[in-house]
């Protein structure tokens, strides 16, 4: 298979060494696991099991129901449900994979347990600025997804034969969800060469799309309708949009975890909106989600104002205060992005240009 090499030879050699000699493996991924986190974890699990290894997947909290179809999803160990099992798996492991996260903060209460564990640790991730807590860090932020990197890692250490149908289903799921079904972050030929390899293993990609990205409860559809009709504010002069949902509103629509997935992307469908923010009043904090088009960087905004981070065009964070206070922070940021602001550091011409390029 002819795709360009991304992971360095040195990293591949070290990865191969660990995978060859260490047999008791635990795979971890970030809080609120998404399609990429679950797909990468379960895909790597099936590949390493095909190699004869003992492998367990451990998550900080429950993944959404929409990912329960992934092969192996029923066998994961969730910290908030089976803390003792999770602790003992991590203590006994001799190799721990850290997938789709770049910092121990992103795995919540799993952080101290992973940090203390004696096992060798390998990060495979595509977020910027990886923290240095692993023995091997395979971090390439220009990759579409961690699943793409896991495919490249398996190929790079000679495990193409172990990429069976189950592995392919999982890795396809993550590549698809992290690119919005190949609508962003997916403009390289390599991605489709990898997809071709995965489809050739007998996966039904349309079924994976329908289960992971195109399934909703009636309550969720009504919540999304309400949020767009009643709660979306557009600020044309700053090319921004805001959606908020309070606790009462979430209860009214019988909100379940995962129900607001992708809501934050929707305001970007308006041609002049370059920056979208969604604020949700969760149990302990205001969950912040942000998306942007082109050169407008939302990760720096989330780092600076919302205790978070992420990618240039998709980031999030946690705000410790009331919903109104979080809204006030957002409002205070608007003037600097207004057309008439000469200090505007997100050049409008660039942004509109790059948005047009994508269409
Ligand atoms: P989402 O808006 O879907 O929750 O998150 C989008 C992206 O933002 C994630 O893939 C992750 O990179 C980043 N992100 C979301 N929440 C947080 C957070 O609380 N802290 C940090 N550092 N990054 C986050
Ligand atoms: Mn990812």
> In the chain, pLDDT over 70 holds for what percent of residues?
95
| Residue 235 pLDDT exceeds 60 | yes
Give nearest CA residue, ligand 1 atom 6: 315
* 209 close to 176: Cβ distance less than 8 angstroms: yes
Least distant ligand from the CA of 148: 2
Looking at residue 33, what is its pLDDT? 96
Atom of ligand 1 nearest to the CA of 102: 22
Pocket of ligand 1 (CB under 6 A): 127, 264, 289, 308-311, 314-318
| Residue 341 pLDDT exceeds 90 | no
Give nearest CA residue, ligand 1 atom 23: 309
Looking at residue 304, what is its pLDDT? 98
Looking at residue 340, what is its pLDDT? 76
Looking at residue 339, what is its pLDDT? 85
Q: How far is CA 85 from CA 54, 58, 91, 119, 182, in A?
A: 15, 10, 10, 16, 37
| CA–centroid distance, residue 252 to ligand 2 (Å) | 31
pLDDT category, 347, cuts 50, 70, 90?
A: very low
Instruction: Please write the tens of the pLDDT for every residue from 93-124.
Output: 999 999 999 999 999 999 999 999 999 999 99
Give nearest CA residue, ligand 1 atom 14: 316
Place of tokens 């959606």: 243
| Residue 45 pLDDT exceeds 80 | yes
Atom of ligand 1 nearest to the CA of 264: 2
| CA–centroid distance, residue 177 to ligand 2 (Å) | 9
Which residues are within 5 Å of ligand 2 (an ion), measured at CB?
A: 36, 100, 146, 178
Q: What token pair was written down for 56?
A: 């367990």
Instruction: Please write the tens of the pLDDT for every residue from 163-187.
Output: 999 999 999 999 999 999 999 999 9
Give nearest CA residue, ligand 1 atom 3: 289
Atom of ligand 1 nearest to the CA of 103: 22
Instruction: Round to whole Å and give the CA distance between 121 and 57.
Output: 14
Atom of ligand 1 nearest to the CA of 311: 12
Beta pairing, strands 286-292 & 275-281: antiparallel
Least distant ligand from the CA of 310: 1
Looking at residue 343, what is its pLDDT? 58
> In the chain, pLDDT over 90 holds for what percent of residues?
91
* 58 close to 110: Cβ distance less than 8 angstroms: yes
Query: Residue 127: what are its φ and ψ, rounded to 5°?
Result: -95, 155
Looking at residue 344, what is its pLDDT? 53
| CA–centroid distance, residue 34 to ligand 2 (Å) | 8
What does the DSSP assignment read for 44-94?
HHHHHHHTT-EEEEEESSPPPGGGTTSTTGGG-EETTT-HHHHHHHHHH-S
Instruction: Round to whole Å and give the CA distance between 109 and 205.
Output: 34
| CA–centroid distance, residue 223 to ligand 2 (Å) | 26
Instruction: Please write the tens of the pLDDT for every residue from 26-40.
Output: 999 999 999 999 999
- 190: helix, coil or strand? helix
CA 148, 154, 155, 157 torsion-angle sign? positive
Give nearest CA residue, ligand 1 atom 15: 316
| CA–centroid distance, residue 261 to ligand 1 (Å) | 12
Instruction: Please write the tens of the pLDDT for every residue from 192-211.
Output: 999 999 999 999 999 999 99
* 253 close to 217: Cβ distance less than 8 angstroms: no
| CA–centroid distance, residue 310 to ligand 1 (Å) | 5
Q: What is the mean pLDDT of the chain?
A: 94
The per-type count for the chain, helices as H runs and strands as E runs, is: 13, 12
Q: What is the mean pLDDT of residues 207-234?
A: 97
Looking at residue 168, what is its pLDDT? 99
- 14: helix, coil or strand? helix
Looking at residue 48, what is its pLDDT? 98
Atom of ligand 1 nearest to the CA of 261: 3
Instruction: Please write the tens of the pLDDT for every residue from 266-325.
Output: 999 999 999 999 999 998 999 999 999 989 999 999 999 999 999 999 999 999 999 999
Candidates 294, 235, 232, 298; CA nearest to 266 is 232
| Residue 355 pLDDT exceeds 90 | no
| SS3 track for 166-234 | HHHHHHHHHHHHHCCCCCCCCCCHHHHHHHHHHHCCCCCHHHHHHHHHCCCCHHHHHHHHHHHHHHEEE
Least distant ligand from the CA of 298: 1
Looking at residue 349, what is its pLDDT? 38
Instruction: Round to whole Å and give the CA distance between 180 and 174.
Output: 10
Least distant ligand from the CA of 129: 1
Give ∠ CA 81-125-146 in degrees, rounded to 5: 85
Looking at residue 1, what is its pLDDT? 80
DSSP-derived secondary structure letter, 124: E
Q: What is the dihedral of CA 336, 338, 342, 343, to 10 degrees?
A: 20
Query: Residue 326: what are its φ and ψ, rounded to 5°?
Result: -65, -40
Instruction: Please write the tens of the pLDDT for every residue from 57-92.
Output: 999 999 998 999 999 999 999 999 999 999 999 999
Instruction: Round to whole Å and give the CA distance between 166 and 164.
Output: 6
């Amino acid at each position: 298979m002819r795709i360009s090499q991304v992971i360095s030879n040195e990293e591949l050699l070290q990865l191969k060494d660990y995978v060859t000699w260490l047999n008791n493996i635990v795979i971890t991924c970030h809080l609120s696991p998404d399609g990429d986190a679950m797909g990468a974890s379960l895909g790597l699990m099936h590949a390493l099991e095909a190699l004869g290894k003992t492998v367990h997947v451990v998550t900080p909290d429950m993944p959404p129901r929409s990912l329960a179809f992934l092969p192996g999803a029923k066998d994961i160990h969730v910290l908030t449900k089976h803390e003792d099992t999770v602790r003992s798996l991590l203590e006994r492991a001799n190799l721990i994979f850290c997938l789709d996260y770049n910092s121990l903060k992103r795995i919540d209460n799993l952080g101290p347990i992973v940090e203390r564990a004696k096992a060798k640790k390998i990060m495979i991730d595509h977020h910027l600025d990886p923290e240095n807590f692993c023995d091997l860090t395979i971090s390439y932020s220009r990759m579409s997804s961690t699943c793409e990197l896991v495919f490249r890692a398996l190929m790079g250490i000679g495990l193409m034969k172990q990429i069976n149908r189950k592995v392919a289903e999982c890795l396809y799921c993550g590549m698809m969800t992290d690119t919005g079904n190949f609508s962003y972050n997916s403009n390289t030929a390599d991605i489709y060469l990898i997809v071709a390899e995965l489809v050739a293993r007998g996966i039904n990609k349309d079924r994976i799309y329908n289960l992971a990205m195109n399934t909703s409860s009636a309550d969720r559809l009504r919540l999304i309708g309400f949020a767009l009709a009643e709660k979306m504010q557009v600020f044309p002069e700053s090319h921004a949009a805001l959606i908020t949902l309070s606790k009462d509103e979430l209860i009214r629509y019988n909100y379940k975890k995962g129900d607001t997935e992708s809501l934050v992307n929707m305001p970007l469908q308006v041609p002049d909106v370059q920056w979208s923010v969604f604020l949700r009043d969760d149990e302990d904090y205001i969950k912040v989600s942000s998306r942007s088009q082109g050169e407008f960087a939302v990760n720096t905004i989330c780092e600076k104002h919302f205790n978070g981070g992420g990618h240039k065009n998709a980031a999030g964070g946690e705000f410790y205060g009331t919903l109104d206070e979080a809204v006030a922070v957002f409002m205070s940021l608007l003037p600097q992005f207004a057309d008439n602001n000469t200090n505007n550091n997100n050049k409008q011409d660039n942004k509109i240009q790059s948005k047009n390029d994508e269409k």
